[in-house]
Structure 1
Amino acid sequence: MGYRNFPMVPKVVFGSGSFDQLKQILAPQRKDRSPFVFLVDDVFENNTELTDRITLEYNDKLIFVSTIEEPKTTQVDAIVNRIRAEYKQLPSGIIGIGGGSVLDLAKAVSILLTNPGGAADYQGWDLVSKKAVYHVGIPTISGTGAEVSRTCVLTGPEKKLGINSDFTPFDQVILDPDLCIGVPKNQWFYTGMDCFIHCVESLQGTFLNAFSQSYGEKAYDLCVEIFLGDGNTAEESRAKLMMASWHGGMSIAYSQVGVAHALSYGLSYVLGTKHGIGNCIVFNQLEEFYPEGVKLFKQMMAKHQIDLPKGICSQLTEAQMETMIDTALGLVPLWENALGDNWQEVATREKLRELYLKM
């Protein structure tokens, strides 16, 4: 058998204040004065503390992107068209600064600048044929693993599915825990739980191997320490959660996620539920699949006084429920990892409906 030959992020800088090295990291990558395009979460639009630290030269451009909704294929296409209309040549690079949504947009835009068609054409596995534009990821919240993964998850006209390819991972990542100062508590929790759930799903999946396990166990232990322990300063917690996110992302690179992510995609596609909170709403109902993980998750919610929305599926039309179930069941690799080859015997339409109605 042939083993997957996975690309990893070739360069990473970690440390408090490392964001200020961005200019010197980018300098050797500039081609003939062609621009760098910075995609920045619009939560920073009125926060000059961050944007003032980005050095714009020549005709570099800062584009603030909205993350009110999960990233869409249409949003990617609009940014790509805007860049093409403004510049005659390809940018020297795309730099994403923000949470998982912005990082996923940056990865997708860098791919679509060198590959024909629209973002929806590449939703799936290994459909990208040309190398992306140089791209850099700078997370400002920790947990999604988007900074290290080979996917960028997008909601398209027909499905919610990532562009999974060897050209997706960033060429450079800057991990500066200080950029996570001031993240609202609920957001911190939901995104951190995305990481915890990655680990639970990877570690209990049938695709598990020593590579995934070594990263997954480390991230899992860090999450338990951060969200249930009391020994860390705020500064230590930020640094450790950044490492948990990295390790959690690496853990699923060589395995896969599972039931929570599959069902969460359904919520997101039909209701527009954000990924982090969607995972939490789903995971809260999955004792039968992940008993130990859900028990710890409930302890973490109690400790941090997190209340999840209830009854979000109670008003669904029959058509919406069917679409939600279709979306979830379409993610075959996730179910195979979670439940094995005979997953369809367990993950029936009736079972999914019953689970969704609990949410």
Structure 2
Amino acid sequence: MSYKNFPMVPRVIFGRGSFNQLSDILAPKRLSINAPFIFLVDDVFKADTWLTSRIPLSYEDKILYISANEEPKTEQVDDLVEEIILNTKERPSGIIGIGGGTLLDLAKAVAIMLTNEGEAKDYQGWDLVKNPAVYHVGIPTISGTGAEVSRTTVLTGPSKKLGINSDFTPFDQVVLDSELTKNVPTDQWFYTGMDCYIHCIESLNGTYLNAFSQSYGDIALTLCKEVFLSDELSKTEIQEKLMMASWHGGMSIAYSQVGVAHAMSYGLSYLLGTKHGIGNCIVFDHLEEFYPEGVKLFKEMKIKHNISLPKGICADLSDDQLDTMIDIALDLVPLWENALGKNWQKKITRKKLKELYQKM
């Protein structure tokens, strides 16, 4: 039997205000005055001088503001790489992603594509990347996706939604400053936090489960329950605990896998452009059959935070469109195998998936 030898983020800094140390972190990594640091920043911060004024720019360093309203696309990665190459004298010293999962995934993908030929879509899959990425740093401003810790960058390509899963994908450095999450709107905070919660449920109930993933999953699940069900925590404690839940949830799936909700939400995302967090919630709401306890608790959290999910998003879809979503979902073999075991094809049929999608 061969065991996974997976990479972890080598350097992590945690603590409120740790963002202020970014200059000290980056300085030794600068290759030359002509090799800039490129900051990919969620454009919601464009007018937020509290954050942007603290980004340490010098020499040719640049901030590129990017909308996170849509899921990241392979084409978007290619455009960013081209823009960076055309406007820098030398290969960048590093790529720094500041934002939620979309920005972190884009930062990882751009760092990879600056050193690998071809287009981003060519690398969707497992272990297709040949060359190490340029130095890259992840700074989450919302918690839950686990993108700050994972070895994948999930992208929607021309024919599929699939990550660039490789040993070169993880960040070289992560800055976990929970203060950066203080202004996240409640619904977005909930949807992204539920991404973490669903990571835990899928990992802990999967056939790939082992002591490594269970230890991280248990911690993440406990933290999620505290954050979303307790009335005892201060705002600061909620921000700090959810940031750590996200980290542990990401670590849990690093050595196992996600399951039914993620597979089906990839279908929604590919066809309808549904954002990942809310897509997971829409799907998970209907998965009592697979995760009875997890869904029951999810519904309690939904009520407590007064969240109403969109309904009827698949109501007017044609059979062809439903088939496209089913194809995307079924293509994610490791997710189904984790959720339902080696004989998963006997347990999940196209008809079953179609019925589930039609409820959403």
Partner of 1:231: helix, strand, or coil?
Answer: coil
TM-score, structure 1 as length reference: 1.00
Q: State the partner residue of 2:6.
A: 6
**Paired residue type of 1:243:** M
Partner deviation per Cα, 1:37-63 (whole Å, 9 max, x = no partner): 000001111111111001210000100
Q: Which runs of 5+ in 2 are unaligned?
A: none
SS of aligned partner of 2:309: coil
Cα deviation, residue 29, structure 1: 0.3
Specify the code of the residue in structure 1 equivalent to 2:338: N
Cα deviations by residue, 1:268-294 (Å, 9 ceiling, x for unpaired): 000000000000000000000000000
Aligned to 2:17: 17
Shift of 1:331: 0.3
Instruction: Tell me, in whole angstroms, the C-alpha distance in 2 between the residues paired with 1:192 and 1:178.
Output: 16
Could you list the per-position Cα deviations for residues 82-115 of structure 1 after superposition, in whole angstroms to 9, with x for gaps in the alignment? 0000113110000000000000000000000000
d(CA) in 2 for partners of 1:55, 1:5? 35
Most deviating of 10-19 and 42-51: 42-51
- What whole-Å deviation, never above 9, does each CA across 1:293-328 have from its counterpart, x for those lacking one? 000000000000100000100010111111000000
After superposition, what is the alpha-carbon deviation per residue over 1:318-359, rounded to whole angstroms, capped at 9, x for unaligned? 111110000000000000000001101111000000100111
1:51 equivalenced with 2:52 (yes/no): yes
Q: Secondary structure at the match of 1:301?
A: helix
Classify the secondary structure of the residue corresponding to 1:174: strand
Structure 1 SS opposite 2:164: strand
Describe the SS at the equivalent of 2:274.
coil
Q: Distance in 2 between matches of 1:279 and 1:32?
A: 43
Q: TM-score, normalised by structure 2?
A: 0.99
Partner residue of 1:135? 136
> For the residues of structure 2 that align with 1:269 and 1:115, how far apart are their CA atoms?
25
Q: Which residue is equivalent to 1:154? A: 155
Q: Which residue of 2 aligns with 1:188?
A: 189
SS of 2:163's equivalent in the other structure is strand
Q: Secondary structure of 1:294's partner?
A: helix
What's 1:255 paired with? 256
Paired residue total? 359
1:73 alignment counterpart: 74
Q: Who is 1:176 aligned against?
A: 177
Alignment of 1:1-359 (within 5 A): 1-33=1-33, 34-359=35-360
SS of residue in 2 equivalent to 1:256: coil
Q: Which amino acid is 1:5 matched to?
A: N
**Match for 1:2: what amino acid?**
S
**Aligned-partner Cα distance in 1 for 2:291–2:21:** 42
Cα deviations across residues 176-203 of structure 1 (Å, max 9, x unaligned)? Answer: 0000011000000000000000000000
Gaps of 5+ in 1: none
- 4+ long deviations beyond 3 Å: none
Question: Offset of 1:162 from its aligned partner?
Answer: 0.3
CA distance in 1, matches of 2:342, 2:219: 28
The alignment partner of 2:162 has SS state of: strand
Cα deviation 1:132-173 (Å, max 9, x = unaligned): 000000000000000000000000000000000000000000
- Alpha-carbon separation, structure 1, partners of 2:121 and 2:86: 20
Say which SS state the counterpart of residue 142 (structure 1) adopts: coil
Which residue identity is paired with 1:109? V
SS in 1 for 2:137: strand
Percent identity of paired positions between Structure 1 and Structure 2: 71
**2:173 partner letter:** Q
Which amino acid is the alignment partner of residue 218 of structure 1? I
